Structure 1
Amino acid sequence: MTNKVVKNNEISSVGIIGCGWLGSALAYQLKKQGVAVLATRSNSDNAEQLKSQGIEAEVLSLPAEQALVNTHAIFKQQCLVIAITPQFRQGRVDYADKIQQLVESAKEGNCVEQIVLLSSSAIYNGLSGQVKEDSTLDMSADKVSVLNQAEQAVLNFNSHCSNESRLNALNDDVGNKKAYVLRLSGLVGPKRHPGKFLLNGRLLKSPQAIVNLIHQQDAVGLIQALLQSAICGGIFNGVSSTQVTKKQYYQAAASALQLPSPTFDESELSAESDPKVVSSEKTQAELAYAFVYDDLLTWLEQGE
């Protein structure tokens, strides 16, 4: 399917929902460019922490009554970046419901022109070989169904607006609504050096799996590229071109921090005959984004 291209208006304001480690880095970059930023966190302590860092922030805790969510100031922004985490490890199963609630509020307010959902390459769980944005998903695999429901809720923001546009062809603002999903791979960067995951001396599984990673700076760059894109919407993978085994990468990470070489569960070697590789081909071609840290082995060696 060919992506529709629409007029790309100047960005004046961005709301970052769930503004944590990555969202804060995005906020700083947007503010440098003169874009007004409003961020949210789920509790007042974290919101105050953002304020102390110079980021305007308010509390938004989900799920909540839809009518109450609709009135939140975040939905007065021109663009929304949804960066809340699924919290699967905490046993949460309501991620898709939260995303749906945010999309409904964005529709109701009629101020939001585009939404970027920061999803996860975990949506490719259960697959092997090269995986692309149009790969058929394994809905029986862990996390996949919930992540897919969340993505579809955001992509339907675009469809909803397209339907409205047909009813009111004179309304250019409605016709310019956009919805993007950015499937981010494992994040590395400041305060997230992969070598630090080795400090507890745990046994690492799947040594022959291919690492699918992206640096924080490139994740921010891709989000900005989507916000500025003339493409009407779609799904994009956020991943570097670094394609080495988990064993190679974490050995290099340990060496960079002068840590002992990690221990791997070699019993899983036979299970990785066709390791999963997340493709960045579409992202690099359609967004024309040049990665700053496309080679994450070099990044480790440089110690940045």
Structure 2
Amino acid sequence: MKKISILGCGWLGFPLAKRLIEKGYTVKGSTTSENKLSILENAGINPFLVILSEVEESIESENVLESINDFLNNSEILIIDIPPKLRGNNADSSGSSRKVFVEKIQNLIPFIEKSNVKKVLFVSSTSVYGDENEIITEETNPNPETESGKQLLLAEAILQKNKNFETTILRFGGLIGEDRHPVKFLAGKENLENPDAPVNLIHQNDCISIIEEIITQSKWNIVFNAVAPFHPTREEYYTQKAKEQNLVVPKFSSEKSNIKKTISSDKIQNVLNYKFNLEDY
């Protein structure tokens, strides 16, 4: 049975690791917090402390390098699921944003190259696309407008052009789950923009199942958009969800928006023969 390393055992990576273990895979998982090592271990995950931002700063530190090498050692598949996290002190002295996330991926590449990893699954985002008023497919030219989207796109390219391993890019839409739903942050707010914009969401359960299918069906060197084929307007959807959860219904601006971006999931449904569980939405 395959051995898998998951870089980033957070909101998605942790339950994903547990699902893969249930399916019989041996899973190594990374965290940047020493306090979380025991949590991973108790879940049956082989835990590693991996902090990519320290690789260059601690190039002489054997502990940092050894930890990454051991994390990747003997794994055939690497899943990279670390968020860009570009807020805070990620700007240089001139005030321009550093390519912090891109640097992390670049730091990781030499370790992948000398490991047994031959397949990489990179969790990206549909933020690599601009806010074009159209249906977005994997053939649409990316045009990121946010800094995180720009850095994700650069990281995708770094991985895709490397011939030492095959990379599949998985671009998720807005992430939701039982413990994570945007309506909780929108409840009670007023003058929200883009009432007519379609929602492009994906539930944690579908995220995990899609990754499992990519591994099971060995679908590599592919780019997938992963968004549920369910696109009511923002106003319709969040009004309904607020009522269902007994929250104050958010109020949207009366001004109609021009943004009608809809992310198509046709490719992932056709190539993987995947069926989304729309009851989760």
Q: Distance in 2 between matches of 1:186 and 1:140?
A: 16
Cα distance change, pair 140–257 in 1 and its aligned pair in 2 (3 A): closer
Q: Deviations over 1:85-125 (max 9, x none)?
A: 0012346441112122223311122x102110000111113
- Which one has the bigger helix percentage? 1
Cα distance change, pair 253–262 in 1 and its aligned pair in 2 (3 A): same
Tell me if 1:57 matches 2:44: no
Cα distance change, pair 135–95 in 1 and its aligned pair in 2 (3 A): same
Tell me if 1:283 matches 2:268: yes
Structure 1-normalised TM-score? Answer: 0.80
Cα shift at 1:216: 0.6
- Aligned to 1:244, the other structure's residue is in SS state coil
Tell me if 1:30 matches 2:20: yes
Decide whether the 8 Å contact of 2:168 with 2:219 is kept in 1.
no
Structure 2-normalised TM-score? Answer: 0.86
Q: Deviations over 1:216-264 (max 9, x none)?
A: 1110111111112333412101110001111111011101101121112
Q: Could you say which residue in structure 2 is the equivalent of 1:148?
A: 153
Residue ranges of structure 1 left out of the alignment (5+ in a row): 1-10, 162-176
Cα distance change, pair 48–289 in 1 and its aligned pair in 2 (3 A): same
Residue ranges of structure 2 left out of the alignment (5+ in a row): 91-98
Q: Could you say which residue in structure 1 is the equivalent of 2:192?
A: 204
Which amino acid counterpart does residue 132 of structure 2 have in structure 1?
L
Q: Could you say which residue in structure 1 is the equivalent of 2:206?
A: 218
Q: Could you say which residue in structure 2 is the equivalent of 1:168?
A: none
- Aligned to 1:187, the other structure's residue is in SS state strand
Q: Distance in 2 between matches of 1:139 and 1:193?
A: 24
Higher mean Cα deviation, 56-65 or 235-244?
56-65
Decide whether the 8 Å contact of 1:128 with 1:276 is kept in 2.
yes
Q: Could you say which residue in structure 1 is the equivalent of 2:240?
A: 252
Q: Distance in 2 between matches of 1:83 and 1:121?
A: 14
- Please give the residue correspondences for 1:118-129 in structure 2 after superposition, counting only pairs within 5 Å: 118-129=123-134
Count of aligned positions: 265
Decide whether the 8 Å contact of 1:81 with 1:117 is kept in 2.
yes
- Aligned to 2:240, the other structure's residue is in SS state helix
Q: Distance in 2 between matches of 1:70 and 1:134?
A: 38
